[in-house]
Amino acid sequence: MKRPFLAWRALCASALIAFVASTAAEPAPTAKLVPGQSQIGFVTKQMGVPVEGTFKTFDAQVAFDPRAPEGGSVALQIDVGSATLGLPQVDAELPKPAWFDTARFPKAIFQSSGIKAVGSGHYEIAGKLTIKGSAKYVVVPVEIVQSHGQSTATGSLTIQRLAFKIGDGEWTDTSMVGDDVQVRFKLVLIGLAPL
């Protein structure tokens, strides 16, 4: 008598597991970056004067539902060799070991570990930022607006260049080049779910 009962319990358990699996949340679709409309820039100070630069080459993988962002993810890769301040003699120095050391560390990488909604269209994306082999935990405030089938994510954060060993040797003097660097971004995406 026990065997049919145990078999029935096993069948019910299997059916419950299958039901839960079938009703589990679907993974968020991946949005596609529109590189020609997207920008990543940075602002530093040289002898107290703001100097703006840009990264010309980068890529992003964004997969989250703005209405349920907790299970989503964001990954960003920046080709640091594409950094430019618009001055050829300065740009020639940036790939060298004292600065980005692009031969050893060609990319800066951000990988999210958590996404939190903090208001209408506003999010905080926490994760690990790795530059020049040094990794730091950061929280990035992001605003998303949507129009004409596109989503535009904008935001900025301030990092300290010396924490990532950017500007070694004589360049550690922050009276020459400031320690704070503001990173600004605008990422235009196609395929993000509605807000």
Q: Is the Cβ–Cβ distance between 138 and 108 less than 8 Å?
A: no
Number of Cβ within a 10 Å radius of residue 74? 23
- What is the pLDDT, as a whole number, of residue 30? 87
Predicted model pTM? 0.84
Over the stretch 100-117, which tens digit does the pLDDT of each residue have? Answer: 999 999 999 999 999 999
Domains, the chain? 26-190 (2.40.128.110)
State whether residue 178 is helix, strand or coil.
Answer: coil
Mean of pLDDT values over 75-104: 96
Bigger pLDDT: 26 or 126?
Answer: 126
| CB burial of residue 100 (10 Å; 0-12, 13-18, 19+) | buried
Over the stretch 117-156, which tens digit does the pLDDT of each residue have? Answer: 999 999 999 999 999 999 999 999 999 999 999 999 999 9
In whole angstroms, give the CA distance from residue 9 to residue 119.
Answer: 46
